[in-house]
Amino acid sequence: MEVDGDINAVTVLVDELRHEDPKLRLQAIKKVQVIASALGPQRTREELLPFLNETMDDDDEILLALAQELGEFVDLVGGALNAYHLLFLLESLVAVDEASVRDTACKSMCKVVRQMTPEHISEHFVAVVRRLVTREWYTSRIAASGLFQVCYDQLNPATQAEMRSMFIQLCRDDLPLVRKAAAAALGGFASMMDPASATAEIFPDFLTLANDRQDSVRCQTVENAVALAGLVPVDVKLNQVLPVIVAAAKDSAWRVRWSVGNKLPEICAAMGAELATSVICDQCFIPLLGDSEAEVKTVAASRAHGAAQHISPAQLISKVVPACAHLARDPSEHVRASLASVVMKIAPYLGRELAVQHLLPLFLQLLSDESSEVRLNIISNLEKVNDVVGIDQLSQSLLPAIVQLAEDRQWRVRLAIIEFIPTLASQLGVLYFEEHLMEMCMGWLCDVVFSIREAATLNLQRLAQHFGVAWTQNHIVPRIVSMHVNANYLYRMISLHAAKVLAPLLTSDQIQQSILPLVLQLASDPVPNIRFNVAKALETMSGQLDSAAKEAHVVPALHTLTNDPDGDVQYFAGRALHLLQQH
């Protein structure tokens, strides 16, 4: 919207905000920063903000847009010294019923508060928190729970004590939704406090919330335990925090157990290696890997490598690896896929010899899983396997499985194998590659799936970069040339595409001897799609040809193609000719 003057701008805004069409009202809200900029800070504070408050919409989408806009309003109302003027509008928005509006308004309010002066925080923002905490309607109290952390370190000791008291009041609220919100904010708020205050005042309510009758409240336990473990004395961590975590891992509600599995690496880090090995592994990690719910096993498996770094190798071998082996036979595909994505990431914590002995069989088992997702997750980690087990073990144990997967019925599995081949080839060497992998790589060029054929040509390019120009000329180019006379136009197309990507790696003489004749012959192909790709290929490789070759072969071919009956062929041939003439 163009703004010709202050009065016109406000008039347009008023009309649109009061319009019956909610789309127009939404558009007006999204333009409110433009209006504020035109009005200037003083009129924005004195006229625009009160007007927005008076015309507060009941449409959630519009309220959400307003909540987002207000987070960017500090400069528009005059900077940090005037930021507090935004609080009254945001105070209304953080208390609405719609959770998305409430959450966005809280984020915007926190953004505004971070730019306010300490004096204004104490005078204006703390008053907002007081009102929200004491209001009867529960949404205000939910919103208040997330506002303590942002201002706490800017307050004097007396006000900090008041804030702690108000937060404790929310932790003990009659409504589970409020207690859940308070529990979700507890760890972050406690981390702002001195350890003595956190231990004496907040920790007792942490213990109470950990035993709340509502599982939605108990789901916040683990994150709070991780935060408090670094604040409370060692004996409290050992005797009170640790039992809470262990109890959560055995909770009757699967979502609570899931929350423990999701935070296993953080739990182990917070408790330290000794407790992670002696207690967390036995009483949390292993039971969660064997949980009755697939969702719990899935998340615990996905965090296995993060937890493993804190657990001793002996415990990994005796407890974790057998549990993972059991998961590899789990009836749930999602559980096996989760395990497949991380199993070899545990290897560095065992060392090469133990990894080969204990993890490689598990890896090979998952590599032949009936689920394509499991196989794909394993293949995606092949480079990590190579780093750990070494090339000899890789060629002996894994290569047969890799060759088998090269023909997997799922094209994404074949694609993942293709992407790993250059790394494998560089490790195995040219002779081994020629003997065992060459035919497989050439076979992909004829795959029924275009993405596989395209990836196969890029694979040849990477192999050529590694093995050199002479090898490419002797082993790859003849195979490419032989494909351009195939009766199937898809093979002729892939021959052209491969020639195009390999040309930059070859010398001018090699291109003129091998690649250029192939391309020129395809210029008369009956398929228009191939002919316009010939024009594009000639455009690309002409920079590597000498003037004589261009004049003798490239320019005449392009002139012929400019008279082609197909419009696309004419266009690309004309473009290539134009570029040639410029150079």
301 and 333 in contact (C-beta within 8 Å)? no
From CA 92, how far away is CA 112, in angstroms rounded? 15
The predicted pLDDT at position 2 comes to: 43
The predicted pLDDT at position 27 comes to: 82
83 and 45 in contact (C-beta within 8 Å)? no
102 and 132 in contact (C-beta within 8 Å)? no
The predicted pLDDT at position 60 comes to: 85
The predicted pLDDT at position 228 comes to: 94
Q: What is the dihedral of CA 30, 81, 110, 125, to 10 degrees?
A: -120
The predicted pLDDT at position 10 comes to: 65
- Residue ranges of alpha helices (H) inside 437-566 are 438-444, 450-467, 469-471, 477-483, 489-502, 508-510, 516-522, 528-541, 547-549, 555-562
From CA 371, how far away is CA 138, in angstroms rounded? 47
From CA 218, how far away is CA 140, in angstroms rounded? 22
From CA 466, how far away is CA 462, in angstroms rounded? 6
CA angle, corner 20, sides to 14 and 21, nearest 5? 100
Question: Would the pTM count as exceeding 0.85?
Answer: no
192 and 152 in contact (C-beta within 8 Å)? yes
**Mean pLDDT per 10-residue segment, the chain (583 residues):** 53 73 81 85 89 78 90 90 93 91 94 93 94 93 94 93 96 96 95 92 95 95 94 92 96 97 96 93 96 97 95 94 95 95 89 86 88 86 71 72 82 87 82 87 89 92 91 90 86 90 88 88 90 89 84 88 90 87 72
The predicted pLDDT at position 7 comes to: 60
DSSP state of 339: H
Tens of pLDDT along 289-313?
999 999 999 999 999 999 999 999 9
The predicted pLDDT at position 9 comes to: 60
Instruction: Classify domain 468-583 at the CATH topology level.
Output: Leucine-rich Repeat Variant (1.25.10)
Q: Which residues of 427-458 are buried (b: 16+ CB within 10 A; e: fewer)?
A: ebebebbeebbbebbbebbebeeeebbbbbbe
SS3 string of 22-90?
A: HHHHHHHHHCHHHHHHHHCHHHHHHHHHHHHHHCCCCCHHHHHHHHHHHCCCCHHHCCHHHHHHHHHHH
Tens of pLDDT along 157-173?
999 999 999 999 999 99
Cα–Cα distances in angstroms (integers) from residue 204 to residues 132, 208, 240, 247, in the given order: 24, 6, 10, 17
From CA 188, how far away is CA 28, in angstroms rounded? 36
Residue with tokens 């703390």: 126
**Structural tokens at position 578:** 């134009």
DSSP state of 512: I
Domain locations in the chain?
468-583
The predicted pLDDT at position 3 comes to: 43
